[in-house]
Amino acid sequence: MTEMKKFNILVVDDEQEFREMTVKQLLHRGMEAEGAEDGKIGLEMVEEGNFDVVLLDVKMPVMDGIKALRKMKQAKPLVEVVLLTGHASVDSGIEGMKLGAFDYLMKPMEFDEVLEKLCDAFEKRRIHLDKIEMAQMKKHMSLPS
């Protein structure tokens, strides 16, 4: 992995120990990171905040990750989402990708794998935003004065 860029990450997972440890490791690496204990709270934070990437568990109480993903993408289409899934719910990861998730990871996994996936998702978002900005500049430049 090359130079680390600082970006905003939301970790949504009902497993408190996993969520807190992941946020702590991201903060330690200079990222901006927050946690949410379920999909409903995560959705509210995405709607109100400015997150670049969401790390979202599929199986959670209150609102599962697939429903939260669908609503997050409606609210903020450019936010990138990496799903976390267990062996029994690989189909959920695939379904999530069809709904616009960047990718999915199977639990358990190494933190470096999570970090690399989050960085890849951020890079995709950055490229997309750059393309939008260029298109807007071209449109502005072609308008008659």
CB 9 within 8 A of CB 35: no
CB 103 within 8 A of CB 121: yes
Report how far Cα 129 is from the mean position of its chain's Cα atoms: 15
91 part of a folded domain: yes
78 DSSP 8-state letter:
T
60 part of a folded domain: yes
- Structure token digits, residue 118: 């989050």
Output the pLDDT for position 87. 61
Count CB neighbours of 88 within 10 A. Answer: 8
3 part of a folded domain: no
Q: Which domain holds residue 91?
A: 8-142
Give the number of domains in the chain: 1
For residue range 30-54, list pLDDT tens digits in order: 999 999 999 999 999 999 999 999 9
1 part of a folded domain: no
For residue range 44-88, list pLDDT tens digits in order: 999 999 999 999 999 998 999 999 999 999 999 999 999 998 765
The contacts found for 21-24 with CB under 8 angstroms, 24 or more apart, are 22/55, 22/111, 22/114
Q: How confident is the model at residue 98 (pLDDT cuts 50, 70, 90)?
A: confident
Tell me the pLDDT of the chain averaged across its residues.
89
Among 44, 46, 38, CA closest to 10: 46
CATH value at residue 61? 3.40.50.2300
